Amino acid sequence: VITQMFLDAKVYINFVKECRAYGINVPMVPGIMCLNTFGGLQRMTTLCKTRLPEGFLERASAANTSDDAFKAWGIQEGAAMCREILAAGAPGLHFYTLNLERVVVGILLGLGRITQDQAALCSAGDADA
Protein backbone atom coordinates (compact mmCIF):
# COMPACT_ATOMS: atom_id res chain seq x y z
CA VAL A 1 0.00 0.00 0.00
CA ILE A 2 1.25 3.48 -0.87
CA THR A 3 -0.47 6.09 1.26
CA GLN A 4 -2.04 9.34 0.18
CA MET A 5 0.20 12.36 0.75
CA PHE A 6 0.58 13.62 4.29
CA LEU A 7 2.68 16.28 5.96
CA ASP A 8 2.40 15.16 9.57
CA ALA A 9 4.48 12.10 10.47
CA LYS A 10 2.06 11.26 13.28
CA VAL A 11 -0.73 10.75 10.72
CA TYR A 12 1.30 8.03 8.99
CA ILE A 13 2.51 6.45 12.22
CA ASN A 14 -1.04 6.30 13.67
CA PHE A 15 -2.46 4.98 10.38
CA VAL A 16 0.01 2.09 10.35
CA LYS A 17 -0.68 1.37 14.02
CA GLU A 18 -4.43 1.22 13.37
CA CYS A 19 -3.97 -1.01 10.32
CA ARG A 20 -1.86 -3.42 12.36
CA ALA A 21 -4.52 -3.46 15.10
CA TYR A 22 -7.03 -4.63 12.48
CA GLY A 23 -4.67 -7.35 11.24
CA ILE A 24 -3.59 -5.50 8.09
CA ASN A 25 0.07 -6.44 7.87
CA VAL A 26 1.11 -5.53 4.33
CA PRO A 27 3.88 -2.97 3.89
CA MET A 28 2.60 0.60 4.18
CA VAL A 29 4.83 2.87 2.10
CA PRO A 30 4.44 6.55 2.99
CA GLY A 31 3.47 8.90 0.16
CA ILE A 32 5.58 12.03 0.47
CA MET A 33 4.51 15.22 -1.28
CA CYS A 34 7.51 17.41 -2.00
CA LEU A 35 7.11 21.05 -1.02
CA ASN A 36 8.06 22.99 -4.16
CA THR A 37 5.97 26.16 -3.90
CA PHE A 38 3.74 27.76 -1.30
CA GLY A 39 0.86 27.95 -3.79
CA GLY A 40 1.24 24.26 -4.58
CA LEU A 41 1.22 23.43 -0.87
CA GLN A 42 -2.01 25.37 -0.41
CA ARG A 43 -3.69 23.76 -3.46
CA MET A 44 -2.71 20.19 -2.63
CA THR A 45 -3.55 20.37 1.06
CA THR A 46 -6.97 21.81 0.24
CA LEU A 47 -7.63 19.30 -2.54
CA CYS A 48 -6.56 16.30 -0.44
CA LYS A 49 -7.90 17.66 2.87
CA THR A 50 -4.46 17.14 4.37
CA ARG A 51 -4.05 17.60 8.12
CA LEU A 52 -1.08 19.83 8.94
CA PRO A 53 1.02 19.87 12.10
CA GLU A 54 0.40 22.87 14.34
CA GLY A 55 2.14 25.97 13.00
CA PHE A 56 3.10 24.30 9.72
CA LEU A 57 1.26 26.70 7.41
CA GLU A 58 2.63 29.69 9.30
CA ARG A 59 6.21 28.35 8.97
CA ALA A 60 5.59 27.68 5.27
CA SER A 61 4.33 31.22 4.75
CA ALA A 62 7.36 32.65 6.54
CA ALA A 63 9.67 30.57 4.32
CA ASN A 64 7.95 31.86 1.19
CA THR A 65 10.35 34.74 0.55
CA SER A 66 11.53 33.33 -2.81
CA ASP A 67 11.20 30.09 -4.78
CA ASP A 68 14.67 28.99 -3.70
CA ALA A 69 14.01 29.83 -0.05
CA PHE A 70 10.75 27.89 -0.06
CA LYS A 71 12.37 24.87 -1.73
CA ALA A 72 15.19 24.93 0.86
CA TRP A 73 12.59 25.00 3.63
CA GLY A 74 10.69 22.19 1.90
CA ILE A 75 13.85 20.09 1.81
CA GLN A 76 14.47 20.62 5.55
CA GLU A 77 10.85 19.84 6.49
CA GLY A 78 10.70 16.85 4.16
CA ALA A 79 13.95 15.36 5.43
CA ALA A 80 12.86 15.78 9.07
CA MET A 81 9.51 14.08 8.40
CA CYS A 82 11.17 11.26 6.46
CA ARG A 83 13.65 10.65 9.29
CA GLU A 84 10.76 10.39 11.75
CA ILE A 85 8.72 7.93 9.68
CA LEU A 86 11.74 5.82 8.77
CA ALA A 87 12.65 5.65 12.47
CA ALA A 88 9.06 4.52 13.15
CA GLY A 89 9.53 1.58 10.77
CA ALA A 90 8.44 2.79 7.33
CA PRO A 91 9.59 0.19 4.76
CA GLY A 92 10.67 2.89 2.29
CA LEU A 93 9.55 6.20 0.83
CA HIS A 94 7.39 7.06 -2.18
CA PHE A 95 7.80 10.63 -3.42
CA TYR A 96 5.09 12.42 -5.35
CA THR A 97 7.50 14.52 -7.42
CA LEU A 98 5.11 16.03 -9.97
CA ASN A 99 8.09 15.86 -12.36
CA LEU A 100 10.04 18.26 -10.15
CA GLU A 101 13.16 16.57 -8.84
CA ARG A 102 15.00 19.33 -6.97
CA VAL A 103 13.29 18.96 -3.60
CA VAL A 104 13.29 15.16 -3.61
CA VAL A 105 17.00 15.12 -4.51
CA GLY A 106 17.62 17.55 -1.63
CA ILE A 107 15.66 15.35 0.77
CA LEU A 108 17.57 12.25 -0.30
CA LEU A 109 20.85 14.14 0.20
CA GLY A 110 19.66 15.29 3.62
CA LEU A 111 18.85 11.71 4.56
CA GLY A 112 22.24 10.49 3.34
CA ARG A 113 20.52 8.18 0.81
CA ILE A 114 22.43 9.59 -2.19
CA THR A 115 25.84 11.19 -2.67
CA GLN A 116 26.63 14.64 -4.05
CA ASP A 117 27.81 12.94 -7.27
CA GLN A 118 24.50 11.12 -7.63
CA ALA A 119 22.60 14.36 -6.95
CA ALA A 120 24.62 16.14 -9.63
CA LEU A 121 23.55 13.51 -12.16
CA CYS A 122 19.91 14.32 -11.39
CA SER A 123 20.36 17.96 -12.35
CA ALA A 124 22.59 17.42 -15.38
CA GLY A 125 19.66 17.54 -17.83
CA ASP A 126 16.40 19.42 -17.83
CA ALA A 127 16.10 20.34 -14.15
CA ASP A 128 13.01 21.79 -12.55
CA ALA A 129 12.77 25.49 -11.80
Q: Which of helix, strand or coil describes residue 3?
A: strand
Quote the pLDDT of residue 122: 85
**Mean pLDDT for the chain?**
92
When pLDDT is averaged across residues 3-27 and rounded to a whole number, the result is: 96
pTM of the predicted structure, to 2 decimals: 0.88
74 touches 103 (CB < 8 A): yes
pLDDT digits 0-9 by tens, 81-127? 999 999 999 999 999 988 889 999 999 999 999 999 999 988 766 55
* H/E run at residue 32: strand 29-33
Q: What is the pLDDT of residue 92?
A: 96
